[in-house]
């Protein structure tokens, strides 16, 4: 299995045969679930302490600053980002084409994927 760039303090996500993990150093990595080979690495430039959520072609991580990063599952390319301006609490949820993010400011945000 490939190696994460730093300590992992969040739940990983498995979609099809891709395992996605994020680290407290702000790195997000995808590994081949069968061989363990590294598929890609991305840097969101801030610690990630809450789990990765992924579905279909997208992975979402929220960094410690509250910035939501939507990444392409096949390449790690950042599709979009959104500034939540508060710390995330709990892991993102997914339903009906949206990620649901709960932040410490008491708001829940529904973001399309």
CATH number of the structural domain spanning residue 35: 2.40.128.630
First and final C-alpha spacing in the chain = 29
**pTM attached to this predicted model:** 0.84
Considering the domain boundaries, does residue 24 fall inside one? yes
**pLDDT per residue as tens digits for the range 2-51:** 666 668 777 899 998 999 999 989 999 999 999 999 999 999 999 987 88
Considering the domain boundaries, does residue 3 fall inside one? no
Whether residue 101 has pLDDT greater than 90: no
For residues 99 and 60, the answer to whether their CB atoms sit within 8 Å is yes
Percent of the chain predicted with pLDDT > 70: 94
Identify the bridge partners of residue 28 per DSSP, sorted by sequence position: 22, 42
Considering the domain boundaries, does residue 53 fall inside one? yes
Whole-number Å distance between alpha carbons of 8 and 70: 19
Whole-number Å distance between alpha carbons of 60 and 53: 5
Number of domains in the chain: 1
Range of the domain at 59: 13-112
**pLDDT per residue as tens digits for the range 39-94:** 999 999 999 878 888 888 899 888 888 888 999 999 999 999 988 777 777 777 88
Considering the domain boundaries, does residue 1 fall inside one? no
Considering the domain boundaries, does residue 5 fall inside one? no
Considering the domain boundaries, does residue 7 fall inside one? no
């Amino acid at each position: 299995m490939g190696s994460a760039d730093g300590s992992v303090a969040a739940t990983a996500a498995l979609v099809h045969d891709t395992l996605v993990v994020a680290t407290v150093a702000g790195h997000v990595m995808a590994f081949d679930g069968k061989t363990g080979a590294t598929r890609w690495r991305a840097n969101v430039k801030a610690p990630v302490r809450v789990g990765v959520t992924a579905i279909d072609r997208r992975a979402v991580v929220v960094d410690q600053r509250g910035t939501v990063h939507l990444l392409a599952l096949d390449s790690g390319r950042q599709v979009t980002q959104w500034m939540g301006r508060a710390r995330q609490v709990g892991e993102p949820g997914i339903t009906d084409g949206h990620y649901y993010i709960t932040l410490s400011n008491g708001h829940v945000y529904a973001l399309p994927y």
